[in-house]
Structure 1
C-alpha cells in the first residue's frame, strides 16, 4: 500500500495544470468592458436619432395640416374622389383664385396642391393618400407613409358655394 501512495504522489507532481494568469484575466475584462461601453454609446445614439426622425415627421405632419387648412379657408369642396379632392374658390373674381386639387402624385412620393400655375408640395414620403367625405362638411384624410405609419386627419370644409 505504501508503494501505491508514493506512485500517486509522484504522478501528480509531474502533471502540469494550465490556468489563466492575472494579466490575462485583466486584459479580458478590459476588452469586455470596452465592448459594453461602445455598444451602450451606439444604442443611445440610435435612440436619439430615432427621436429626431420621429420629431421631424410629426413636425411635417402638423405643418402640412396647418397649410391645408389655411389654403382652403376661401374654397369650397367641388368633388371628392378616393385619391384626390378638387376645390373651387368661394369668390373667384374678388380674390382672383382658381380651382385647386389636393392629391398624391402617381409617380412621386409627395402630397401636394395642384393648381393652374404648378404644384405646391405639402408632405414627403407619402405612399398612399385616401380622401373620404364623412358627414356634412368633413373630409377624412388618411395618409400612409413609406415608414408604414398611418395618420388620419379631419378637415372642416365649405361644402357648397355660399
Structure 2
C-alpha cells in the first residue's frame, strides 16, 4: 500500500498555531512589563529630583553663597554651637555618577544616577541642568538672595 501523504494534518496545524499564539502571548507580556518598569524608574527619578530640590533649598537657606564653578556651588555657614565658619559645597562626582553635599570634610549623596550636572550663573540666578544616566534632563533655577 502506497501512502500519498503531502501535507499536514489538522492536529499538526492546531498544535503549531497553539505554540505560535503562546509565543506572541509571552512577547506581549514582556512588552507590558518593560513599560511598567520604565514608568517605575521614571517616577523614582522624578521623586529623587523633587527631594533634591527640597534639599537644595534647605542647603541654600543654611548658608551664604560664596562661589561657583560649572560643576560645584560653594556656600559658607556659621556653626551655631562652635561659632566657626564651615564651607558647604554641592559637587558632582563623575566617577561615582552622583551629586553630593560636601560638609566639613564629609560627603553625603543627594542625587544619584547622574551623567552630568552644570551650573550656569545668569545675573542674580543660577541655572542648573542635570542629565541622568537614562538621558532624562531636568532643569532648576535658584535665585541668589
**Interval containing the TM-score (normalised by the shorter chain):** 0.7 to 0.9
CA RMSD of aligned residues (A): 2.1
Report the TM-score, using the length of structure 1 for normalisation: 0.78
Unaligned runs of 5+ in 2: none
How many residue pairs get matched? Answer: 142
Query: What residue in structure 1 maps to residue 138 of structure 2?
Result: 151
Q: Distance in 2 between matches of 1:69 and 1:147?
A: 25
Look up the match of 2:102: 114
Match of 1:98 among 82, 86, 90: 86
What is the match of residue 121 of structure 2?
133
Taking the aligned partners of 1:30 and 1:15, their CA distance within structure 2 comes to: 28
Provide Cα deviations, 1:42-73, integer angstroms capped at 9, x if missing partner.
Answer: 11111111111111111111111111101211
| Separation in 2, partners of 1:38, 1:107 | 39
SS at structure 2 position matched to 1:99: strand
Work out the CA distance in 2 between the residues paired with 1:82 and 1:98.
22
> Larger Rg: 1 or 2?
1
Question: Is contact 1:99-1:115 (8 Å) kept?
Answer: yes
Greater fraction helix: 1
Cα deviation code 1:55-112 (max 9, x no counterpart): 11111111111111012113221111111111123xx265756220111025321101
1:46 is matched with: 34
The answer for the alignment partner of 1:9 in structure 2 is: none
Q: For residues 7-52 of structure 1, give each alpha carbon's deviation from its aligned partner in whole angstroms, at most 9, with x where no partner exists.
A: xxxxxxx993612211111111111111111111111111111111
TM-score w.r.t. length of structure 2: 0.87
Shift, 1:117, TM fit: 4.2
Match of 2:44 among 41, 47, 56: 56
Structure 1 residues without counterparts, runs of 5 or longer: 1-13
